[in-house]
Structure 1
Amino acid sequence: MLIPMTVDLIYKNNDWSIFMLSSFFTFFIGIVLYFSFKNKKNKINLSQAFILTVLSWIVIAIFSSLPFVFSSSKLDFTNAFFESISGITTTGATVIINLDNLSEGILIWRSFLQWFGGIGIIVLALAILPTLQIGGMQILHMEHDDPYEKTLPKIGQFVIEIFLIYLFLTLICAFFYFIAGMSSFDSLAHAMTTIATGGFSTHDDSFGSFNSANIEWISIVFMIVGSLPFVVYLKMMHGNWKSFFKDDQIKLFFILIIVTIGITAVWLLLNSSEKSLYVLRISTFNVTSILTGTGYSSSNYSEWGGFGLVIMFIIMFIGGCAGSTTGGVKIFRLKILFGSAKSQIKKLNQPHGVFVTSFNQKPVSDDTFNSVMNFFFIYILIFIIASLLLSFLGLDFLTAISASASAISNVGPGLGDTIGPLGNYNSLPMSAKWILSITMLVGRLEIFTFLVLLSVSFWKS
């Protein structure tokens, strides 16, 4: 909170005092908790790891909401918590109206929440979830083979190097935004939310307010950069450049994004009078934004017609690669599901043949495959339940299903006039915002990390 406080002091905004008081209060609570548990040397067991993971995100969201409540944004606690949880989960759904009139401190605070959440997600995905064996994430242990383990024997060094890569990419992104025409403030704020694939902007019209092809193409590149597995960047940093071209996730991700952009661009060319270069630009930007879960917008894709809406709705669920800042089902799960379906078809043609589903040239275990299947089923089930609850509260069909899909996949904007690229979540009922807040958190924590806490047997053990 000292960062936005400093920004407000530089820009002479009165909100600096709110950030100072909020930081002191948060620091005080942290010190009290630290000394309360300082002398306890017990190792954390598996059950405690689940509890700690979930509680950490909730507690951070609560304390992060304080500036939204007491600053010039003047949000009530429900809206402040929604904005905060949307930030740290890198969802990017917002309830704030008139972003252009907010103080620079609040705007940079929103960006920082997403940037902080992004690095937290990477560490969670690469260092914690594989150990907890959540939703097939244990397959990421396959990425920690000898060459990787020899260069990074300690988790502390691993986290530091990931952070340095994350910081470096953010600064490079900010530099390119700046030379493309953004102000120094906008370039830094948007660089943080681009690498984090978060989508918070400093303007109500998002990237449409810049109306710059150069800025949009830069954003496209760095949204993709944030969607690729950071462990591959780590390997490249240690000299293993071939890993980028060998990774199954990366290959499938680029196939999906190129095919989707191509289909969308052709559809728009056939149904609009716009020039082909402009159509390619807006389709590439908005498809990349939704597929990566970033949530920026440069045009109102809710007006792309029925086929365009279906495309955007479907790709909301996909997300980027595991070990990146993105949400969604993740590319590695799709790769395993596609591979399993392919093996099953071959088995039907050759009943006595042996066909094995592989990932990065290594066989996928039955436990991993079952975890992926269970994750996919529960993922869709939660989406359906959230959609039904939102519909029960009076939301129209398109708003209900797109809000649920956007929340569980941590995308941000939905579809339609209410929560689409030109709208926001401010007008939704308070109960709907709590449903979506929980859905965002569940999706961000890979579902089972959260759901296991609802099990009676978990608490008995």
Structure 2
Amino acid sequence: MQSASSTFFRSHVQFAVFVNGLLLMGLGVAMLVPALVDFGTNNRDAEHFLICAVLVGGVGSLLAAAFRQERTGTLDRRTGYLITLSAWLSVSFFGSIPLAVASIHISMTDALFETVSGLTTTGATVLSGLDTMAPGLLLWRSLLQWIGGIGIVVMALAMLPLLHVGGMQLFLSESSDVSGKTFPRVGQFARAIGAVYVGLTLACTIGLMAAGMNAFDAINHAMAAIATGGFSTKDASVGFYNSVGIEVVLIVFMTAGALPLVFYASFLMRGRRALLEDEQIIGFLGILAAAILAATVWNISEGMQPYHALRVSAFNVTSILTDTGFATTDFSTWGSFAIGLFFMLYFIGGCAGSTAGAIKVFRWQILFASALRHLRRTLSPSRVMVLTYQQRRLDDDTVSAVRNFFFMYLVTFVVLSMLAMASGLDFLSSTSAVAQGMANAGPGLGPLVGPATNFGHVPELAKWVVMAAMILGRLELATVYVVLLPDFWER
């Protein structure tokens, strides 16, 4: 009689390995893009990318062939969680190999940090000298973010219909999308998301070129903006260009990336009503406007000229709230109120179903509504009050799930911050590094990990802590924690 563990391996792990093999094959193909760019510029990293493409594609092919699934039944939640977590871990590891063997000569830890930061669309970097770095490496960093933004699991969704699998729960386990099934079939959903994503990237590229950015930089920054990633081709980030036009274009598309990707398809079908009926979009835009106003007023009170205060506040607040991570100045030097404001923005984030990270607006809205109902019940215990969201009634299980998420997020933040402090970082650097990691936001606060520097000089333990924060934040905690439960591996 077969054991429960062997049954689990056959029914869950084998299929997860098979899907990972398909994803690694795709990653190997993606490595050919920077290889071609470096061949065109006679850079020696072209050979490294080509060898890595063959290696990673070959490993993926072997895994896909060895664990090939001719046909499988409905994909259950447990397999969805396993595929989600294993895909991010395996692609992060194999995606770091080109950086580890490249001419920039960085350690495997740094290469993995940069790759995890890219795939989780965090944008925190350990690299310097970006202005003179080989174009293939710069493009690979941007591609990692772009791939991470669309979601490795969403890419897998496009393959699953071919395998006769209904895999919508993969996307749900990754992004906690509350927008509902606008598209009834997974294939339609994946195609709609892909079309919107590519369309926004092209529009941003054209806008940046029209604003004065060269084509290569425009492509890289467009991929980072739509993915709300934040990797730049310059050490000074967007501040290098000192261009109002470029900043305005990026503000628009960073905001676009923080809205639900499915919203754009809905907007084309339903028009303005799609916007007015989406509570989280209205809430997100309201928070963005209020935060920009608060930062602008604060900077004016500190002696900054009104126009300049509005310009730097609008860009950097948008960058942090959308969890993008671009910067035009060192906003951690703006004073105590600004530091507190940006620290708070780390925990808010964008909309569910977007490329942004953090707790996300819809959870805050549900939590505040629940707290308000509790206060009203304190005054009128017999009063019947029903919570609704997006024109749908919220049951107690949904509200409880939001509360549990907040609890897990807070505990995770505290534990990882303590570990970062144990590595030798000070309080502000530790807490802001973990907060931005969990929010996938990019720069931290202060002189060590702020927007004026990078993570290259922080202790190695701190880098691993921040990497853990990035993965946990991107996969929204439960996807990771549930796999660690002994119950997960039982029949």
Could you say which TM-score interval applies, normalised by the shorter chain?
over 0.9
Kindly state the Cα deviation for residue 60 of structure 1 after the two structures are TM-superposed.
0.5
Kindly state the Cα deviation for residue 292 of structure 1 after the two structures are TM-superposed.
0.6
Report whether the alignment pairs 1:137 with 2:176.
yes
CA RMSD of aligned residues (A): 2.0
- TM-score under structure 1 normalisation? 0.94
Judged with a 3 Å threshold, the aligned counterparts in structure 2 of structure 1 residues 367 and 223 are, in CA distance, closer, same or farther, namely: same
- Quick check: 1:135–1:375 contact (8 Å CA) kept in 2? no
Report whether the alignment pairs 1:324 with 2:354.
yes
Report the equivalent of 2:236. Answer: 205
Judged with a 3 Å threshold, the aligned counterparts in structure 2 of structure 1 residues 245 and 364 are, in CA distance, closer, same or farther, namely: same
Report whether the alignment pairs 1:19 with 2:49.
yes
Equivalent in 58, 61, 65 of residue 35 of structure 1? 65
Report whether the alignment pairs 1:338 with 2:352.
no
**Match of 1:419, SS?**
coil
Kindly state the Cα deviation for residue 400 of structure 1 after the two structures are TM-superposed.
0.4
Equivalent in 435, 440, 443 of residue 470 of structure 2? 440
Judged with a 3 Å threshold, the aligned counterparts in structure 2 of structure 1 residues 349 and 97 are, in CA distance, closer, same or farther, namely: same
Equivalent in 439, 445, 450 of residue 420 of structure 1? 450
Report the equivalent of 1:375. Answer: 405
Structure-1 separation of matches of 2:205 and 2:119: 20
Equivalent in 307, 317, 326 of residue 287 of structure 1? 317
Report the equivalent of 1:220. Answer: 251
Structure-2 separation of matches of 1:388 and 1:169: 39
> Residues 211-360 of structure 1: matches in 2 within 5 Å?
211-272=242-303, 274-360=304-390
- Quick check: 1:135–1:372 contact (8 Å CA) kept in 2? no
Structure-1 separation of matches of 2:148 and 2:174: 20
**Match of 2:143, SS?**
helix
Report the equivalent of 2:28. Answer: none
- TM-score under structure 2 normalisation? 0.88
Equivalent in 340, 362, 365 of residue 395 of structure 2? 365
Report whether the alignment pairs 1:72 with 2:111.
no
Amino acid at match of 1:302: S
Report whether the alignment pairs 1:96 with 2:144.
no
Report the equivalent of 2:414. Answer: 384
Identity %: 40
- Quick check: 2:175–2:476 contact (8 Å CA) kept in 1? no
- Quick check: 1:91–1:407 contact (8 Å CA) kept in 2? yes
Report whether the alignment pairs 1:430 with 2:469.
no
- Quick check: 1:72–1:102 contact (8 Å CA) kept in 2? no
Kindly state the Cα deviation for residue 123 of structure 1 after the two structures are TM-superposed.
3.4
Equivalent in 415, 427, 436 of residue 406 of structure 1? 436
Paired residues, what number?
452
- Quick check: 2:80–2:170 contact (8 Å CA) kept in 1? no
Structure-1 separation of matches of 2:69 and 2:373: 54
Kindly state the Cα deviation for residue 19 of structure 1 after the two structures are TM-superposed.
0.9
Kindly state the Cα deviation for residue 69 of structure 1 after the two structures are TM-superposed.
0.9
Structure-2 separation of matches of 1:10 and 1:438: 37
Amino acid at match of 1:243: A
CA deviations over 1:315-345 (Å, ceiling 9, x no partner): 0111100000000000110110111112222
Report the equivalent of 1:157. Answer: 188
- Quick check: 1:130–1:138 contact (8 Å CA) kept in 2? no
Amino acid at match of 2:322: T
- Quick check: 1:220–1:289 contact (8 Å CA) kept in 2? yes
> Residues 439-458 of structure 1: matches in 2 within 5 Å?
439-458=469-488
**Match of 1:385, SS?**
helix
